Amino acid sequence: MLLLVAILVLFFQGGQTFDILLLSRVEYAPALQNWLFWAFFAAFAVKVPMWPFHTWLPDAHVEAPTAGSVLLASVLLKMGAYGFLRFSLPMLPDATAAFTPIMVTLSLIAIIYGAYMALAQADLKKLIAYSSVSHMGFVTLGIFVLNAQGIEGAILQMVNHGITTGALFLCVGAIYERTHSRMITDNTGLANPMPRYATVLVIFTLSSLGLPGTNSFVGEFLVLVGTFFWSKWIAAVASLGIILAAAYLLWMLQRVAFGVPNAAHASHLHDLNLREMITMTPLVVLVFWIGFFPNPLLMKMHASVNALIEHVDTEELEVAQTRGNRHEAIGDREESPTHSPSPLASSLEPQTREVGP
């Protein structure tokens, strides 16, 4: 509802059009931008989900079938991050710059909190769900550091998260079909009876924790580089999320793949069949292809990301100059009360203007 209200406000304030490009060229009053930013935030933060609006996600994954979890993790969570990139940054640059510290703080909390919660989980689906909260925290962090490295890393990490987390949910679904349990204690020691399954599980787990040579490493590294340019201390805190990811994912992998087999389910542990291998293999290829050759994807982003950053910077600079000129004009009038308004002062009235691509 708040998203709908914000879109309708943009429609009436931006010349009665829903064209995104035209709405991005309109200069909105700072107070209006603030209200619109939080209306968009209410919708997109739930969708990402950002802390503290994340509580629906673990239960949704647990209750959903495998296909639902894959669709939710791989596609639907990205809509919130896309909304920030498509609406909040280009349309509301002043509010974005003003509230960046808040967004970065919420992203940091999501990274650390999601990782700590994943450490405590005994259910495989809940563990991966909380890891999604942590990994999507890197996405929002990269978006709101407002530099090319951070935003490109965030976009690439949206792709990587869809590949890796979706694949991990497929792995959970495959073992659930055999043992009818998602509990880690019921699914241990799978390397011997299910070597192919253990292999793909290791690959996707190492990708999720950001091992160099896998896709997630490139995205998280770019996000951390962009964060480092914004603040060294924030980058140091965000790096703890990668350390914690290694802790909960490797601990899970140690028990599931290399632990002591559960005798109660031994008769059901047959390896991945042809259909499951056909499903997993393209994802394995993408993990290593993006990990070793990310440039084809990154080069596609350069023009759009640079145009977005230039647009946001131009908006901020022009607004700052306009405010500065207005203060100077007001000061001149106070010094000379009888002086008639100059053309410069009259030109400072709010106007709709266009910004180049």
Q: Is 17 helix (H, G, I), strand (E, B) or coil?
A: coil
The pLDDT, as a whole number, for residue 227 is: 92
How do residues 1-30 score in pLDDT, each as one tens digit?
A: 889 999 998 888 887 888 888 888 888 888
Tokens for 181? 């349990």
Contact between 126 and 62 under an 8 Å Cβ cutoff? The reply is: yes
pLDDT over 80 at 217, yes or no:
yes
For residue 77, the SS3 value is coil
234-288: per-residue pLDDT in tens? 999 999 999 999 999 999 998 888 877 776 666 677 888 888 889 899 999 999 9
C-alpha dihedral, 26 to 32 to 33 to 39, nearest 10°: -120
Average pLDDT value for residue range 85-113? 89
Residue 54: burial class (beta carbons within 10 Å; 0-12, 13-18, 19+): buried
Here the tokens at position 27 are: 């200069």
CA angle 61, 45, 151 (to 5 degrees): 105
**What is the chain's mean pLDDT, rounded?**
83
What sign for the dihedral angle of Cα 88, 90, 94, 98? positive
Question: At 183, phi and psi to the nearest 5?
Answer: -75, 140
What's the full length of the chain, in residues? Answer: 357
| pLDDT (tens digit per residue) in 38-73 | 999 999 999 888 888 888 888 888 888 888 888 888
- What pLDDT is recorded for position 318? 57
Specify the pTM: 0.80
Query: pLDDT, tens digit, for every residue of 306-355?
Result: 888 887 776 555 554 554 554 444 445 444 443 334 333 333 344 444 44
pLDDT higher at 357 or 228: 228
